[in-house]
Amino acid sequence: MNIIDTHCHICSEKLLPLHKEILKECSELNMKIIEVGYTLESSESAIRLAATNNDIYASVGIHPSEYTAEKPEELYFRLNSLSLSPKVIAVGEIGLDFYWQSPKSFQYQILELQLDLAKKRNLPVIFHVRQAYHEFYEFIKPYNFLSENAVLHCFSSDISWARSFLNLGFYLGFDGPVTYPKNDALREVLTFCPHEKLLCETDCPYMPPVPYRGKPNRPAYIVEVIKKISSIKNMNISEMSDILYKNAHRLFRIDP
């Protein structure tokens, strides 16, 4: 079975003590992972991790809730130099998050700056959006280069928003919540979403799927998410996994 987890934070504090075990599990499953940055430091860690392992790729970016007082020009300069590392395959996770109290002016400013970087470097984008779907949609609509070049990670809204972002040419990422018993609404979105636009992720250590709720999530648990997606899509798990794998390679332009 071909497996790729397109959204991990295995360098986060929670998973650091489990690093050896996690990397062993990943190699036993013969899986690939994308380690996603959310600050300058975590982006650097992602690059370092990717440099040690053929099957690990890095994404660099500053999350909207990670407020930093650094000057925008300085952030651009540092992100640009990080993005030149050979294993960097995307800019992200970036976006808007109105759940946390990070200043909105800062969020818009670094979003714009990082979109400029992605365009200049010709890299696909990993978006994080929370409680800001409308504002985010209005903001990114004019960025035509994002078509077929972006994923809305951990999609957590309804069919109508799914349709809007699919119409912009976005991929949608699905995570552990798709396995939660009460989440029929999200499973309906999955039924609606075309196969070729689906990505599967863990966002580990967050949002562990059933039956691992309450534990820190890890990349190997992605199997539970793929199982769920394949049952919703009425396919066998290896067929579904192949599709998800191909989609990720197409978006992130990784050699299969």
Q: Which parts of this chain interact with Zn ion (CB under 5 A)? A: 203
**Nearer of residues 127 and 165 to Zn ion, judged by Cβ:** 127
Nearer to Zn ion, 31 or 129 (CB): 129
In the complex, least distance from residue 36 CB atom to Zn ion, rounded to whole angstroms: 5
Burial class (CB in 10 A: 0-12, 13-18, 19+), 147: exposed
Give the nearest distance from C-beta 22 to Zn ion in angstroms.
16
Closer residue to Zn ion in complex, CB, 107/230: 107
| Calpha distance 2→50 (Å, rounded) | 19
Residue 235 beta carbon to Zn ion: minimum distance, rounded to whole angstroms: 27
- What's CA 154's distance to the chain center, in Å? 7
Distance in Å, CB of 79 to Zn ion, minimum? 17
CB of 93 to Zn ion, least distance (A): 5
Q: Which residue is nearest to Zn ion (CB)?
A: 203
Comparison of 5 and 203: residue with beta carbon closer to Zn ion: 203
Residue 222 has phi, psi (to 5 degrees) of -60, -25
Backbone phi and psi for residue 151, each to the nearest 5 degrees, phi listed first: -125, 135
- Tell whether omega for the bond before 188 is within 30 degrees of 0, i.e. cis: no
First to last CA, the chain: 13
Return the number of the residue (173 or 226) whose C-beta is nearest Zn ion: 173
Kind of pairing between the strands at 171-174 and 125-130: unpaired
Question: In terms of Cα–Cα distance, which of 187, 124, 137 is closest to 166?
Answer: 137
